[in-house]
Copies of this chain bind each other. A is one copy, B any other.
Amino acid sequence: MGKPPQRTSLEDVARLAGVSPSTVSRALNRPELVSPATRERILEIARSLGYTPDQVARSLKRGKSPTLGLILSDISVSFHADVARGVEEVAQAQGYSLILFHSQESPERERAGLELLKSYRVAGIILEPTGKNRELEEALVQEGIRVVEVDRISGAKGVPSVLSDNLQGAALAAEHLLQAGHRWAFVVGGELGLTSCGERTEAFARRFTAGGGAAEVYTCPSTPEGGYEAALRYLSRGQRPSAVFVTTGQMAQGVLQAFQEQGIAIPQEVSLVVFDDPPWASLVSPPLTAVRQQAQEIGRKAAQRVLGERFPGRPKILRLPTELVERASVARLADPGGSYPPDNPA
């Protein structure tokens, strides 16, 4: 009682306008197929009735909904939020909506999300993959749903990825440290199984080593807590590397917290470079030298690939260049190439 949620339907408009439903439909979707006079009348009536076409019915009929799915481990990571903004931006511009799903890094949740999105008949899915659901990804592609990965590469066949050029970015960091005279670095790597952490760690180590330095890799959860723990580990040593390279902004948060709590002076006691440039990097003391990613652009490009035409010849993996933002967390060492790195870091 007292509940008349009578949505007005296309049929209502048709009746009032004295035309058939299909004409109304046309007036809305292909106006050029309807005589100007009736078109105007229909549109006018539709407006006056506050008519909104039912997307659900439309999607059922068309077999596809103007919707994109976005599966992220956690939207509150600033990098992810920026990616989401980019995705949403082009989706909205093209008339698509965004369904957001959190995987929380859990393969089961990811699977649930993928299946859910499929059942929603989304036009495409943008996915930060755990890598544990490759078959499902491939199956979705088979069914005609476009899938594009961001930030990681699961290895699923037929699924392109958009991510930062981790090799280039990590090399930038390594080189910068090398040039500042550092020859011994501690790498807070995170979970090396993740494309981002793995590639960054490896590329950094390779470049740094090639330049005559020695890199020690420490793995830990890719979270602030993981970074915190890694930093404590670093500090607990007798002799310490002169520089620390952190592969994600999340971990950097923890690293910084630890250094701060222990009263470690940056860059006097330790130099720091972070892969990723969260908004706070320039706010801390000292401001952090960081490898900036084009997060929003990654989102945009991913959305474009999902929505755009399929170019068979197109590169499967798109790597967006990064940029080194020099701030004040790296000390220039007095004796470049000198004695800092012990001959045997182990």
Contact = CB atoms under 8 A, between A and B. Distances in A.
Contact of A82 (B5, B76, B253): B76
A264 B3 CA distance: 60
Contacts of A89: 102
Size category of the binding interface on chain A: 35 or more
Contacts of A100: 70, 84, 88, 98-100
A283 B282 CA distance: 11
Contacts of A65: 56
B54 A119 contact: yes
Nearest to A136: B50
Interface string A77-108: 01001101100110010000111111000000
A92 B117 CA distance: 13
A139 interface: yes
A56 to B, nearest CB: 5
Interface of A is mostly: mixed
A145 to B, nearest CB: 8
A93 to B, nearest CB: 11
A59 interface: yes
A84 B92 contact: no
B81 A139 contact: no
Contacts of A224: 279
A116 interface: yes
B285 A284 contact: yes
A260 interface: yes
Nearest to A279: B253
Interface of A: 3, 5, 7, 50, 52-57, 59-60, 65, 67, 70, 74-76, 78, 81-82, 84-85, 88-89, 92, 97-102, 115-116, 118-121, 139, 142-144, 224, 253, 256-257, 260, 278-280, 282-285, 287
7 contacts: A52-B118, A52-B119, A56-B56, A76-B85, A88-B101, A257-B283, A280-B283
Q: Which 9 A-B pairs have the closest CB atoms?
A: A280-B280, A5-B144, A285-B285, A76-B81, A55-B119, A100-B100, A5-B143, A56-B60, A52-B119
